[in-house]
Amino acid sequence: MSTFTTRLPRYELHCHLDGSVRPGTVADLAREQGITLERPARDLVVAPAHCGSLTTFLTYIDLPLRVLQTPEALTRTARELVEDWKADGVVHGEVRFAPQLHGRHGMTSDEAVQAVAEGLAQGRATTGVATGLLLCCLRHQSPDESLAVAETALRHRNIVAGLDLAGDETLYTAQPHRAAFDLAHSAGMPCTVHAGEAAGPESMWEAIDILGARRIGHGVRCTSDTALLNRLRTDRIALEMCPTSNVQTGAVPHLTDHPAVPLLAAGLPVTISTDTRTTSDTTLQREFDALRHAHGWTSRHEALTQENAAQASFGTPSG
C-alpha cells in the first residue's frame, strides 16, 4: 500500500494527450466510428514494461491517434484527463499534443486546438484543476510544418501556454526547427524540448542554446556532462522526468538506474510526470510509489519536485 497521500498539491508538466486516453474511451470511440478492434482496447493501448525502444512504445499510441480525429473525441478525452488529474491530486496539469496529426478527416489544427481547449475548460469547471495546453512540433516534419504549429499556437495565445518539440532525436536534430521557436520566443511564449531521452547531452545543449528551451522533456542522459549539469542548475532549466516511461522506452535500463533522485539531491530542478498515463499505465501516485521502492523516495522528495514544477509551470492562459 502506498505511504503517500494526495495532500501535497501536485503539478504535472509532461503529459501527452494521445497517450493518456482511457482504454474505455478508446473502445467507445472506436465503436462509434465503426472501427473493429481485434483485441480488448487495453491490450492495444497499454505498452509492456520494457518495450526496448521508443519506436515500439509509440506503436501503442497508433489506435488512440486513429480515434482522435474528431473535435468531439478530442474534447471528451481532454475533459476526462482533467478528471483523472483531479483523482491523482493534481492541482495544475499541462497537456501537450500535435494538432497537425489530427487532420485525417479534415479537421484543421485550429479546430483541434479549440476542441482540446473546450475539453480542458469543461474539466476545469467541474474539478477546479488549473490547466495548460502545449502544442508539439515534430522533429521528423519540415521546418515549415513546425512554423505552422508555432503560428497556430500564437493565434490561440489566450489558450495555449507553450510550444514543444517531440520526436526521434537520434535521427533528427533540433536546429531545423529554430524558426518556429524563435517565433514563439518573440511573442513571449515559453518552450520545452524533448531531449536527452534517446540521445546524449549534445541533444540537450542544442535544445537549450539553439531552441531556447526553459524545460527539457526527460533529460535522463545529462549525467555524464558536468558543464551541462551546472548549466541546468544555474539557469534553473527544469527536467520533466517520467520514470516509468523512461524504463519502457529504454532511456534507462531499470528504475534503479533512473537519475531523478541523485539529480534532485544535486540541486537540479527535477520534476516528475507520467508522460503517457495510459500507454505507461501510470499516475503520479504510481510514479512516486515506484521511486520509493527503487530509491527510498520520501515525502520530502515529492515536496521538492512539486516546488520545482510549480516554479517551472508555463501558466494557465485560459484558467
Q: Which of 309, 173, 171, 286 is nearest to 240 (CA)?
A: 309
Q: Which of 142, 139, 181, 140 is nearest to 162 (CA)?
A: 181
Contacting residues for 72 by C-beta, under 8 A, at least 6 apart: 115
Q: Is residue 1 part of a domain?
A: no
* Residue with cell string 473546450: 118
| Per-residue pLDDT at 50 | 87
Mean pLDDT across the chain: 95
Q: Which three cell numbers stand for residue 10?
A: 501536485
Q: Is residue 59 part of a domain?
A: yes
Decide: helix, strand or coil at residue 94. strand
As a whole number of angstroms, the distance between CA 252 and CA 268 comes to: 19
Environment class of 258 (CB within 10 Å of its CB; exposed 0-12, middle 13-18, buried 19+):
buried
- Counted domains in the chain: 1
What does the pLDDT average to over 301-311? 96
- Give the residue numbers spanning the domain of 295: 10-312
* Catalytic pick among 80, 197, 206, 240: 197
Domain of 290: which CATH number? 3.20.20.140
Model-level pTM?
A: 0.95
| Per-residue pLDDT at 266 | 96
Looking at the chain, the whole-number percentage of residues with pLDDT higher than 90 is 91
- Is 197 labeled as catalytic in the residue annotation? yes
Query: pLDDT-based confidence at 2, cuts 50/70/90?
Result: very low
Strands 191-195 and 10-12: unpaired
| Per-residue pLDDT at 316 | 67
Q: Is residue 243 part of a domain?
A: yes
pLDDT digits (tens, 9 = 90+) for 43-101: 999 999 888 888 889 899 999 999 999 999 999 999 999 999 999 999 999 999 999 99
Query: pLDDT-based confidence at 4, cuts 50/70/90?
Result: very low
* Residue with cell string 496539469: 93
Q: Is residue 319 part of a domain?
A: no
Higher pLDDT among residues 51 and 175, named by residue: 175
What does the pLDDT average to over 249-273? 96
Query: pLDDT-based confidence at 197, cuts 50/70/90?
Result: very high
Query: pLDDT-based confidence at 318, cuts 50/70/90?
Result: very low
pLDDT digits (tens, 9 = 90+) for 126-161: 999 999 999 999 999 999 999 999 999 999 999 999
The secondary structure element, H or E, covering residue 192 is: strand 191-195
| Per-residue pLDDT at 255 | 95
As a whole number of angstroms, the distance between CA 231 and CA 113 comes to: 34
| Per-residue pLDDT at 5 | 46
Q: Is the pLDDT confidence value at 319 over 60?
A: no
Q: Which three cell numbers stand for residue 184?
A: 514563439
As a whole number of angstroms, the distance between CA 30 and CA 72 comes to: 13
| Per-residue pLDDT at 287 | 97
pLDDT digits (tens, 9 = 90+) for 20-36: 999 999 999 999 999 99
